[in-house]
Structure 1
Amino acid sequence: MRWTSILAIYALFWSLAVFLVLPFGVRTHEEAGAERIPGQADSAPHGYRFGRLVIRATIVGAVLFGLYYANYVNGWITPADMDYSGTMKG
């Protein structure tokens, strides 16, 4: 596999991981016991930390990509394994 393919596939896994880890660790102003700004939504996060999100997404993305790459190298699951209609021959 080329390094550009590895980078592109990792970027896809990383962007998926962002959405997976986004809701974890988020607290509203009410949960944190802080004052709300007038006009602020009740569900707005208190003290949002972008750096923590990036670190978590990087770790989860690396683990997911590692599993993908290990499967690519070792061939644990092939397209023929995912063919439930029986049209592929493997």
Structure 2
Amino acid sequence: MLQFGSYVAIFFVVWWLCFVAVLPIRARSQIEAGSIVAGTEPAAPVLPRLWMRLGIATALAVVCTGLLLWALSNETLLRYWS
């Protein structure tokens, strides 16, 4: 059985992977939108919607972490992997 700190570390790594995977979904750059704001990077997103992306990444990370921890504790899978 893992300690609480191990669960937190696993969730943290899975969350970052999910967050990086969610970032480019439906992101439109200023170039694609045709409205470049002076003094900004043209490839910067028009509407970053970070709170929505944080929520989606968190929900996805909870599901992925749950599946990962289930797989690591499943007797059938443990016998198959060893």
TM-score range, shorter chain: 0.7 to 0.9
Cα distance in 2 for partners of 1:52, 1:79 equals 40
Between structure 1 and structure 2, the one with the greater Rg is: 1
Question: For residue 37 of structure 1, what is the aligned residue in structure 2?
Answer: 37
Question: For residue 85 of structure 1, what is the aligned residue in structure 2?
Answer: none
Structure 2 counterparts to residues 11-90 of structure 1, below 5 A: 11-32=12-33, 35-78=35-78, 81=81, 90=82
Matched position secondary structure for 2:77: coil
Cα distance in 1 for partners of 2:49, 2:19 equals 13
RMSD: 2.2
Could you say which structure has the higher helix fraction?
Answer: 2
Paired residues, what number?
A: 81
Displacement of 1:65 in angstroms is 0.3
CA change 1:62–1:76 in 2 (3 A) is farther
Aligned amino acid, residue 15 of structure 2: W
For 1:2-40, what per-residue CA distance to the aligned partner results, in whole angstroms no more than 9, with x for missing partners?
22211111111101111111111211234445x311243
| TM-score normalised per structure 1 | 0.73
Cα distance in 1 for partners of 2:76, 2:24 equals 32
For 1:28-73, what per-residue CA distance to the aligned partner results, in whole angstroms no more than 9, with x for missing partners?
234445x311243332100212111110110111111011111122
Q: Percent identity?
A: 27
